[in-house]
Chain A
């Protein structure tokens, strides 16, 4: 039953001094917990970053090996292309030299480059012109040279010259080159 006009003040075991002490320790504890939480977070982030870096490194490693493979392949291709280019230059020079050999009076109708030989078809006014002006340089180049003639309608002679280089190690053709045969057709050689 209530008798008093006033209510009793709220009683607490915490005195102002104790309250101050609790506040101080509370703040300190709070700061420690916050620091601990911050460190935990940083550690988690660090572990996360580390895992990401490991993954990235792994990816980079895989990428690097792939790139190395590609580089090797490209280097091989570059080497191959360089070799082909060189061979083409050599072939071009050979063809140019071949056409330089052909005198103006003789007309080539077909030239076949073989692995170790050359077959020429053409028209010559006569056999002598052929023998002196074309046969001679061909013989100096090839080890074996065979020629056959047959008359054309206009009285000139059609010839077929077959020239071979003996396979004694002087050949510069390799396996790839050996497979390549080129047929060069020339309708007229005005030069």
Chain B
């Protein structure tokens, strides 16, 4: 009772940390009840915590005893499974070395206990109150779509992709993909069975084409204009199921066109990982396989339009991209956790 009174008198400080590949973004919100008094964001060149970041957080944390430090889980050994039954989840991950929680009595998300402990140790100077799974973030972010669609949902971070397939709130498949580790086995993924299954390369294998006359080359030139193929006007033909509000996300894609040259390789890596993962979903008997027609992307880094194009062209998916501000979503999650 008394603590509730004090809680009402003091400001609540939400410190939200999102770790990217080589930097950390700290987003701080100072709230009075449900009103945001102040919000600040800063980026630090560390993936853990340095003196500058500590001082920055400490300055705001000192303003109120009611401060909550949240972080988005970066563990490689995390994921989600389509059941909450303890008898069934053992088939998917090692329960003894993992921490798992049930989401709305429908599906379970988990992470490595060791990684969780390491995370708490790394941020021991400031301490951590909440560690959130990207799958929970994704589920909340696309709650409106998950409840009504059968789609694939992606949360794209700089180094990770959280992939999940939901059929009207029911989780069918999920996987946490690590972009950094995927680089090492890039070649393997290219030669993977999945590639053969889709056999998309073979359809445009230029080496097999016998260039004999100019007429053929002329015909190929017509197809070589990829920009024309990828123009939004053309894509409208395939997007009958698109809703009006979702079109806004596609228009936003133009914002990412500036990153094209920089993000090309990464986007292809992302695409490869997604493709492999989808292939596992289709092939593995453990998962209830359903045909994926659309994908909703929560873009946390600003991917280029290439990824969208790859997904549309090569996997024939309807792609909807929605920009996500990861730190502020983590903050929203922290607030929801407290309620």
- Residues of chain A having any CB pair with chain B under 8 Å: 1-9, 11-15
Contacts and interface: CB of A to CB of B under 8 A. Distances in A.
Contacts of A15: 65
B65 A4 contact: no
A8 B70 CA distance: 9
Nearest to B334: A4
B211 to A, nearest CB: 58
B336 A3 contact: yes
Given A8-B68, A11-B66, A1 B336 contact: yes
Nearest to A12: B65
Given A11-B66, A13-B65, A15-B65, A4 B10 contact: no
Interface of B: 3, 6-7, 10, 65-68, 70, 73, 99, 101, 103-104, 111, 116, 120, 127-133, 136, 333-334, 336-338
Chain A interface main SS type:
loop
A189 B209 CA distance: 192
A13 B129 contact: no
Nearest to B339: A1
Contacts of B132: 3-5
Contacts of B104: 1
A15 B61 CA distance: 12
A8 to B, nearest CB: 4
Contacts of B128: 6
B99 to A, nearest CB: 5
Name the 7 nearest CB pairs between A and B, nearest first: A4-B130, A8-B129, A5-B131, A13-B65, A3-B136, A11-B66, A5-B99
A2 B129 contact: no
B333 A3 contact: yes
A4 B70 contact: yes
B210 to A, nearest CB: 59
Nearest to A10: B3
B131 A8 contact: no
21 contacts: A1-B336, A1-B337, A3-B130, A3-B132, A3-B133, A3-B136, A3-B337, A4-B333, A4-B334, A5-B116, A5-B133, A6-B120, A6-B128, A6-B129, A8-B129, A8-B130, A8-B338, A11-B65, A12-B65, A13-B10, A14-B65
A9 B129 contact: yes
B83 to A, nearest CB: 18
A5 B65 contact: no
Given A1-B104, A1-B336, A13-B6, A6 B130 contact: yes
Contacts of A4: 70, 129-132, 333-334, 337
Given A4-B129, A12-B3, A13-B65, 10 more contacts: A2-B101, A3-B101, A3-B130, A3-B136, A4-B334, A5-B73, A8-B68, A11-B7, A11-B65, A13-B6
B111 A5 contact: yes
A2 B337 CA distance: 6
Contacts of A3: 101, 103, 130, 132-133, 136, 333, 336-337
Contacts of A13: 6, 10, 65
A2 B338 CA distance: 9
Given A3-B132, A4-B70, A9 B337 contact: no
Contacts of B73: 5
A6 B131 contact: yes
Contacts of A9: 127, 129
B271 to A, nearest CB: 30
Contacts of A6: 116, 120, 128-131
Nearest to A5: B131
A13 B66 CA distance: 8
Contacts of B67: 11
A12 B111 CA distance: 29
Nearest to A6: B131
A11 B70 CA distance: 15
Nearest to A11: B66
A50 to B, nearest CB: 47
Contacts of A1: 104, 336-337
A14 B6 CA distance: 11
Given A3-B132, A13-B10, A8 B337 contact: yes
Contacts of A14: 65
A26 to B, nearest CB: 18
A167 B231 CA distance: 174
Contacts of A12: 3, 65
Contacts of B120: 6
A27 to B, nearest CB: 23
A3 B334 CA distance: 8
A15 B63 CA distance: 12
A3 B6 CA distance: 25
Q: Which of A2, A4, A5, A15 has the most CB of B within 10 A?
A: A5
